[in-house]
Structure 1
Amino acid sequence: MITPIPDLLPQRELVVDFRFGVFFLVGGVAPNPLDIRFKRVKGLSATVKTTPLAEGGQNLYTQRLPDGVEYGNLVLERGLIVGSPLHLEVEAALSLFKFAPSNVVVTLFNDAYVPVSAWFFFKAYPVRWAISDLDAASKGVLVDTLELAYARMQIMRV
């Protein structure tokens, strides 16, 4: 009879992607509860840019040297909220061209709502806003989409 080998690694729960909050940190003030709930967050990405360097006499390949980090824009989607302070900031940026960059933290929670991971975005500001199509035949929720550029991102594992 063969005895199974016990698993030496502790059992870990799978991390789910649907318990999260988005927190805008403006001047040390607690975030407005209207502006932390989003339906979807996209664009959590970073890529190391490289520069090719050809070496003399080497024709089979080139060296690729790291040349900096490039970030995708952070895209936030939610149902339209009337009277949102965040919307006022977006309106000032897009209509008056007045920008007030803020730090943004996207936090992922486990089933007990304890943070398990987070992404910190430094000096974020709006670069695109869109709203879903208005359709008299649809009974869907009107979706507000906000796209943010930022200086850099820091991944935080808890």
Structure 2
Amino acid sequence: MSEYDFYPGFHFQVEFISADFGTNDSRFQTIGGLEVSMETETIKEGGENRFEYILPTKTSYGTLSLKRGMMRNSDLIDWCNRTMQTLEIKPVDILITLLNEKHEAVMSWNIFHAWPKKWSVSDFNAMNNELTIETLDLQYLYFTRD
């Protein structure tokens, strides 16, 4: 394995580290929102109109989006519903691991203090023969990459 190996993005696993959700609650079709960006502030130089300085102010992290086929019973969705109904936030930590063809971890992301921000279900359409997909958007404080 070289430091320049490339890995497909379809073989991954999700673990909810600080919660006891069922085994099926760790299977997802799509994961998105692993992103961080630097917010900036623009400062104009006094007396010199040709220059503006763009300075970093803070980092901001995206919203983690997890998609899967809708299931009848789900501890994960129960947690989401409780949070939405009571506004009692009980954050969880999440480990997302990219796997190689031998099911070995090649890279992982530790997501800290995630909580449900949005839960949605795909449209029902009598003209399509598709699975019903549920999407769970989780807000988080930050992530680290191993």
Amino acid at match of 1:126: P
Q: Normalising by structure 1, what TM-score? A: 0.85
Partner of 2:121: 131
Partner of 1:58: 48
Q: Once the two structures are superposed, what CA deviation does each residue of 1:104-131 show, in whole Å capped at 9, x if it has no partner?
A: 1111111111111111111000001100
Query: Which range is displaced more, 48-57 or 82-91?
Result: 48-57
Partner of 1:85: 75
Query: How many matched pairs?
Result: 145
| 1:101 aligns to 2:87 (yes or no) | no
| 1:15 aligns to 2:4 (yes or no) | no
| 1:142 aligns to 2:120 (yes or no) | no
**Structure 2 unaligned spans of 5+:** none
Partner of 1:5: none
| Residue 52 of structure 1: how far off its partner (Å) | 1.2
Separation in 2, partners of 1:92, 1:120: 24
Q: Once the two structures are superposed, what CA deviation does each residue of 1:58-92 show, in whole Å capped at 9, x if it has no partner?
A: 32221111111011100010001121110110010
Amino acid at match of 1:103: D
Output the aligned Cα RMSD.
1.6
**Structure 1 unaligned spans of 5+:** 1-9
* SS of corresponding position for 1:58: coil
Separation in 1, partners of 2:27, 2:41: 40
Aligned residues: percent identity?
28
Extract structure 1 runs of 4+ deviating beyond 6 A: none
